[in-house]
Structure 1
Amino acid sequence: MATLDDVRRIADSLPGSEERTTTGGIAWFVRRKPYAWECHPWPSIPDDIRAILATELVVAVKVADRIDGIALVQMEPDVFLRTTTPWSEPKVAFRLAAITADHLAELVTDAWRVQAPKYLRDEFDAVANGAESTEPEV
């Protein structure tokens, strides 16, 4: 079961990532652009989704395209919520307790990539590629 600490750990590993407390909970930003955030049961959210948000920890992340979010909801409707608010589109929200650790890392990292400038993505990729090439050359 994933927690906000897991999101925090992943976000802390991303260059330029910053955590802030907002009126809706915790959110993560890169260069002042939100890429992941804790969802709050705002009155503007449909009643069935608001009931879930009131009882479960739900996180939303930016996605590259609205179709990506729709595809995730269709593939795993028990994990991903069909909608929250029209703000910060495109995005997808998911039940934190239902997401696997690997999928969480992928979602948060991909959301960061959507919002991060190229120089930070390049910095992240350079570190990731350096970590992969730990084998000595022969």
Structure 2
Amino acid sequence: MATVRDVERVIARLPEVTEGLRFGHRTWYVGKKSFAWVRPFSKADLKRFGDETPPDGDILAVATADLGEKEALLSAHPGPLFTIPHLDNYPALLVHLKSTPPKLLREIVEDGWLAVAPRQLAEQYLQR
């Protein structure tokens, strides 16, 4: 349901975001911290899927506040949100854009931004 264009629209509403490349992939930052990045599967990732078919289409990685939030989100939205072994013990999850409703995408990306934004900037944003 969602596309990278939808991601761009959500991110355009967030203050002080810059875009760059990290490992050759589009990455969005607030300050020097990344909060969302396009995350295609590596050969090692694909190998770990074994006989299981990996999700097709664009995949977005998004930061979470901590591992507890990551687990809660994964439990609440098991279809569009998932993780892979590469992200074990790392506060980020993956979003299968093709199966993500726009409202969920907006919430996940905004939460990712809030997870890494400077405290004062995040507080100003939440008070708008």
Q: Same fold (TM over 0.5)?
A: yes
Q: Tell me, yes or no, if the aligned pair for 2:28 and 2:35 is still in contact at 8 Å.
A: yes
SS of match in other structure, 2:110: helix
Same amino acid, percent of matched pairs: 25
Q: 1:18 to 1:81 in 2, by over 3 A?
A: same
SS of match in other structure, 2:54: helix
Instruction: Number of aligned residue pairs: give it.
Output: 126
In angstroms, what is the RMSD of aligned CA positions? 2.4
Unaligned 5+ segments in structure 1 are 129-138
Q: Does the alignment pair 1:25 with 2:25?
A: yes
User: 2:54 — aligned with what?
Assistant: 52
**After the TM superposition, which segments of 4 or more aligned residues of structure 1 sit over 6 Å from their partners?**
none
Q: Distance in 2 between matches of 1:44 and 1:77?
A: 23
Q: Distance in 2 between matches of 1:68 and 1:117?
A: 18
Structure showing greater radius of gyration is 1
User: 2:69 — aligned with what?
Assistant: 68
Q: 1:11 to 1:87 in 2, by over 3 A?
A: farther
Q: How far off its partner does 1:51 sit?
A: 5.6
Q: Does the alignment pair 1:36 with 2:41?
A: no
Q: 1:57 to 1:80 in 2, by over 3 A?
A: same
Q: Output the amino acid matched with 1:61.
A: V
Q: Output the amino acid matched with 2:82.
A: L
Q: Output the amino acid matched with 1:89.
A: Y
Q: Distance in 1 between matches of 2:41 and 2:83?
A: 14
Counting only pairs closer than 5 Å after superposition, residues 1-138 of structure 1 correspond to structure 2 as: 1-45=1-45, 47-48=48-49, 52=54, 55-83=56-84, 85-86=86-87, 89-126=90-127, 128=128
Greater relative CO (CA pairs within 8 A, separation 6+): 2
Q: Distance in 2 between matches of 1:48 and 1:87?
A: 15
Query: TM-score if structure 2 supplies the norm length?
Result: 0.83
Query: TM-score if structure 1 supplies the norm length?
Result: 0.78
